[in-house]
Amino acid sequence: MTVHQRQVLLSCMIISVVLFVLIALNFKEPLMLNFGEWVQSYLYDFLGSYGDFVFVVITYVGSAYVSFPIMGILMCVFLFQKRYWTTLLLIFNLIGVRQLNWLLKSIFERPRPELEHLVQVSSDSFPSGHSMNSIAFFGFLAYLLHLKLKDSRKLSRWVWASAVVLIGLIGLSRVYLGVHYPLDVVGGFLAGGAWLLLSIFLYTYVPQKEHFNQRAPVKQEQNR
């Protein structure tokens, strides 16, 4: 990755942080609260109770019950492939974003919406942990898979499109299930997006031999 591309990553990360701070300082404003109530009402009116099962499953995909086993499997694969720095970065990505989310929740201490919760929750509301963790973790996996499939642009686009849809649905599920305000989800996406960009930025310093887009040398046949 070029110096310019690294600068773009850092710039986008800073923008995400600034937008997150703006939301964090204004999520209690009446206009923001009214907007959140309108989004929730629209979702309930549009989807009704038919989406209960679907969104419960989707929100489960965004939980630690799924992300940690995936991380464990990938750690074994990467260690077998001697991708030691990539393994450490994967751990940093998931464990780090979860700890950051816990820290942010403890700072803002926003209570959950006063709605019927269709799933059990125990922590504070802002920012959404599912949204923050999913964009950081699944986004980073999509980036690694994108590097692996870089020679196939069509497959690479499918990977990114699938990741965007999954992450978006996970965030939407938290609002639909009544456990988050819409701005909790937006804030989670911004904070998690910044962590994703940081992870990608750090990956650019991983030794070249571990890169997924590293091509094997072509052996030329000797003329007889």
Token reading at 155: 């497959």
The dihedral built from the CA positions of residue 208, 212, 213 and 214, taken in this order, carries a sign that is: positive
**Annotated catalytic residue 180:** yes
**Annotated catalytic residue 146:** no
Residue at token pair 């456990």: 179
Catalytic residue among 4, 117, 130, 211: 130
Catalytic residue among 117, 146, 180, 211: 180
Residue at token pair 């006063």: 114
Q: What is the 3-state secondary structure (H, E, C) of 149-193?
A: CCCCHHHHHHHHHHHHHHHHHHHHHHHHCCCCCHHHHHHHHHHHH
Q: Which residues are known catalytic residues?
A: 130, 180
